[in-house]
Structure 1
Amino acid sequence: MKLAGLRSVENAHDESIWAAAWVPATDSRPALLLTGSLDETVRLWRPDELAAVAPPSRGHALGVVAAAAHPSGALAAAASLDSSVRVFDVDSNASVTSLDAPPSEVWGLQFDPKGTVLAVAGGGSASVKLWDTSTWQLIATLAVPRPDRARPDRTGSGKFVLSVAWSPDGRRLACGSMDGTVAVFDVARAKFLHHLEGHHMPVRSLVFSPIDARVLFTACDDTHVHMYDAEGKSLVGAMSGHASWVLSVDASPDGAAIATGSSDRTVRLWDLSTRTAVQTMTNHTDQVWAVAFRPPGGTGVRAGRLASVSDDKSISLYDYS
């Protein structure tokens, strides 16, 4: 497996780019790359030439810190430091709804695999909020308990939720916190199951394996990437190699690799059969806030793609094979 640089776009936004997500292909168009920036905008990009699809989409009063796409490819959501989540139609850019939250309450979000629920990581509220995507009503608040013998984190409350991920079967939800713990929930019962431990610094990103609903990968400020059995509560492996905070992680659609982005300015590709970094990309000149593999599907799509975004305001696109 390897990455090959395809192209980079400098000054893709006016400020740091913190969010990236792929919008799945529809019958009328290919998959698109969605990026969100501290310049208060989101942008859509064509998947191969990285050409902007439309002018920047505005609607936030402060920087965009997270973005997610509905599995249908029709909708997307962006979360901002203005304490709101804007849900919009991808093709028309028309706003569908705005979900309000208290200050510092929205740091990560993701649609479930069926697209019926949007999960929002709740920051200082120490919770994950679940929104029904047909009515946009709040249907559950999953409280994240403090683990036994936990040390308080920087909020003083003991919990600050930064990241959220769905298992590929939609049965489990995991969220990463500032104190380094990962909480796992049974979504159908809205029940907390257990913590996954091993990190001791903020877990800013996490993702389940697309081919094994038990396997969870986490990216942490402690410079490590962990691989957990999310059902068995066990740490399967720890991968090291980054020189600084690991800010983002994503799993390849074939389940054979993960990619990570770090404040050491690099993107790394990891072979899961050996749990080692097999490639380091140095396209960026500042910390890499998000990496995202393009989902499979779409007419004429044969090659894999990985995108990365950075504080240097650039987007890089790689061929994954």
Structure 2
Amino acid sequence: MKLSGLKSVENAHDDSIWACAWVPATENRPALLLTGSLDETVRLWRPDALETFWPSPSTGHCLGVVSVAAHPSGAVAASASLDSFVRVFDVDTNATIGTLEAPPSGVWGMQFDPKGNLLAVAGGSSASVKLWNTSTFELVATLAIPHSEQPRPGDKSGGGGGKFALSVAWSADGRRLACGSMDGTIAVFDVARAKLLHQLEGHFMPVRSLVYSPLDSRVLFSASDDSCVHMYDAEGKSLVSAMSGHASWVLSVDASPDGAAIATGSSDRTTMSNHGDLVWGVAFRPPGGAGVRAGRLASVSDDKSISLYDYS
């Protein structure tokens, strides 16, 4: 993959930017970049020029925003904050559609399923993934992550016990849901049966980010504080490859729409070296939209900046 810097915006937020996601294109507009920051706001950005889409940022939270997600229709998005609320809103008008309440530290990662019927939320100290119906925004299932029988190096809960759910990812076919935990394990669920299938091991520090291959629902990528990115056969429960190109925590991972490449962000400040601090999020633009010919990759950082890259 050939990657080149396209544009960067300094001071895109007033504080560290911890989350980014692309909102898919609709008939009326192109894909938009969604960002969330510790300044308690969410912003939308037009592609390529990185100009703001809303007249002013969304201020629907009273603490820092740690996760954002976009519905596959491109019409709806969600933001999660340290204030223990998930705000669901209309992308074009910024009007609030629903507010989902979670216990303290109960929301860290979230993602809409490929069909847009469910919103999966990593439940932090609840050691679970919560599934919300996107028509009614009612809680429809809680997928519990079993406690560890033995102490693990990454377990911050005091030994063989608690889990802390950090990250979630849906498989491309929507049949599986993966959840990364603070202790380095990854739980894989059969969503239709609301059943834990197995746990993947190999990391020994927090799993901050997960993404399935868009072309193969068996292939799962994980990013961890142990400075490694793993590729798993999530159905066969096997570690396929361990990649170690970073010098410190790997905070984010995403896969290109054609499945040919992955991008990662790290506390070693790298992603084309455009950032001066931790890179908390990377996101490939989804396919679709009038006149779209080139691929785009976005990254966000503790340095308050957004960078956009062209890839081919």
Which residue is equivalent to 1:39? 39
For structure 2, the residue ranges without an aligned partner over 5 or more in a row are none
Kindly tell me: are residues 147 and 231 of structure 1, through their superposed partners in 2, closer, same or farther at Cα, counting changes over 3 Å?
farther
Which residue is equivalent to 1:96? 97
TM-fit CA distance, 1:263: 0.2
TM-fit CA distance, 1:154: 1.3
Which residue is equivalent to 1:186? 190
How far apart, CA to CA, are the structure 1 residues paired with 2:28 and 2:296?
20
Contact 1:79 1:86 in 2 (8 A): yes
Give percent identity, aligned residues only: 79
TM-fit CA distance, 1:2: 1.4
Which residue is equivalent to 1:173? 177
Which residue is equivalent to 2:295? 304
How far apart, CA to CA, are the structure 1 residues paired with 2:262 and 2:149?
31
How far apart, CA to CA, are the structure 2 residues paired with 1:72 and 1:291?
21
- Root-mean-square deviation (Å): 0.8
Alignment pair present for 1:5 and 2:9: no
How far apart, CA to CA, are the structure 2 residues paired with 1:214 and 1:138?
27
Letter in 1 for 2:110: L
Contact 1:124 1:155 in 2 (8 A): no
Which residue is equivalent to 2:58? 57
Letter in 1 for 2:245: G
How far apart, CA to CA, are the structure 1 residues paired with 2:298 and 2:234?
27
Which residue is equivalent to 2:274? 283
Contact 1:247 1:263 in 2 (8 A): yes
Per-residue CA deviation, residues 225-260 of structure 1 (Å, 9 max, x unaligned), is 000000000000000110100000000001010000
Aligned counterpart in structure 2 of residue 233 of structure 1, from 234, 237, 257: 237
Contact 2:9 2:306 in 1 (8 A): yes
Superposition pairs of residues 1-321 of structure 1, within 5 angstroms: 1-54=1-54, 55-151=56-152, 153-156=155-158, 157-267=161-271, 281-321=272-312
Which residue is equivalent to 1:277? none
Per-residue CA deviation, residues 160-188 of structure 1 (Å, 9 max, x unaligned), is 00000000000000000000000000000
Per-residue CA deviation, residues 116-150 of structure 1 (Å, 9 max, x unaligned), is 00000000000000000001110000000124434
How far apart, CA to CA, are the structure 2 residues paired with 1:70 and 1:147?
33
TM-score by length of 1: 0.95
Contact 2:165 2:182 in 1 (8 A): yes
Contact 2:205 2:226 in 1 (8 A): yes
TM-fit CA distance, 1:38: 0.2
Contact 2:148 2:162 in 1 (8 A): no
Contact 1:147 1:195 in 2 (8 A): no
Number of residues of Structure 1 aligned to a counterpart in Structure 2: 308
Letter in 1 for 2:14: D
Contact 2:36 2:43 in 1 (8 A): yes
TM-fit CA distance, 1:102: 0.6
Contact 2:148 2:163 in 1 (8 A): no
TM-fit CA distance, 1:202: 0.2
Secondary structure (helix, strand or coil) at the match of 1:300 reads coil
